[in-house]
């Protein structure tokens, strides 16, 4: 397989060199060049279809501006490819959709809430054995041990928020408002855990008109 791939690359490299020098291709090279061109054209077509589907989804979710989507949609339907600012705009809005908006406020700046889908939550737990180690090493409290504690808390909080946003995404939301993160200690037999719970309201938002 590796030898075949090397051979294909070598063949394509030879064709490109001829084209750059305006030299004529032989019959085999010409057919290979046509084949690659057709495959490339099909790939671009599929990419444009994917981009049109994404634009439709983003517009339905109220992400981005209608005028901008109409402009990009027109280019794609005319078999034009998105480059530069156009492509970066689409990618940025896709990332916004995938990540969602998470805020402690009850609204989203620059957007209006069109539907409330319900309460969502996420939770995770971390063991508190490291607290025992911390207490036994107070002399290092302001050094490495306090840093480890901080990282543990931050990691647990991020995981809880991630689970919450995934829950919201499954409901069809593109934002979570009124987010609250609570820390609760849970004790059991010879075990102590810190529960981190993130809650919020899943909503659908769109750009203010």
Write the pLDDT tens digit of every residue in 129-183.
555 554 444 444 444 545 666 777 788 888 999 899 989 989 988 889 999 999 8
**Cβ neighbours for 36, distance < 8 A, ≥ 6 positions apart:** 12
pLDDT of res. 188: 66
Q: Which DSSP letter does residue 14 get?
A: H
Per this entry, what is the length of the chain?
209
pLDDT of res. 132: 52
**Helix H or strand E encompassing 200:** strand 191-207
**Per-residue model confidence as pLDDT tens digits over 3-59:** 344 446 677 778 778 877 777 878 887 788 788 778 878 888 899 999 999 999 888
Q: Are 103 and 67 in contact (CB under 8 A)?
A: no
- 111-124 burial by CB neighbour count: b if 16+ within 10 A, else e? bebeeeeeebebbb
Q: How many angstroms separate the CA atoms of 161 and 152, rounded?
A: 14
Structure tokens at 42: 């099909």
Other beta carbons within 10 angstroms of residue 200's beta carbon come to 25
- Domains of the chain by start residue, with CATH: 2-99 (no CATH), 101-207 (3.30.110.70)
**Cβ neighbours for 142, distance < 8 A, ≥ 6 positions apart:** none
Structure tokens at 156: 């647990």
By C-alpha distance, which of 56, 57, 60 is closest to 205?
Answer: 60
**Cβ neighbours for 96, distance < 8 A, ≥ 6 positions apart:** 63
Structure tokens at 136: 């036994």
Structure tokens at 133: 């180690």
């Amino acid at each position: 397989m590796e030898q075949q791939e090397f051979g294909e690359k070598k063949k394509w490299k030879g064709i490109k060199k001829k084209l750059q020098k305006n030299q004529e291709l032989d019959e085999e090279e010409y057919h290979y060049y046509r084949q690659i061109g057709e495959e490339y054209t099909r790939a671009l077509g599929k990419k444009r279809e994917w981009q049109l589907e994404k634009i439709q989804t983003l517009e339905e979710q109220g992400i981005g501006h209608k005028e901008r989507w109409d402009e990009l949609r027109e280019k794609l339907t005319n078999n034009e490819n998105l480059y530069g600012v156009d492509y970066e705009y689409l990618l940025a809005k896709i990332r916004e959709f995938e990540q969602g908006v998470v805020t402690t406020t009850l609204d989203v700046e620059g957007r209006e809430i069109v539907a409330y889908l319900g309460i969502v939550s996420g939770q995770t737990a971390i063991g508190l054995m490291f607290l025992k180690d911390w207490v036994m090493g107070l002399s290092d409290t302001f050094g490495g041990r306090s840093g480890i504690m901080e990282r543990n808390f931050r990691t647990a909080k991020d995981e809880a928020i991630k689970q919450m946003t995934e829950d919201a995404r499954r409901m069809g939301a593109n934002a979570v408002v009124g987010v609250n993160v609570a820390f609760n200690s849970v004790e059991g037999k010879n075990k102590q855990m810190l529960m981190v719970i993130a809650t919020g309201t899943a909503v659908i938002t769109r750009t203010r008109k």
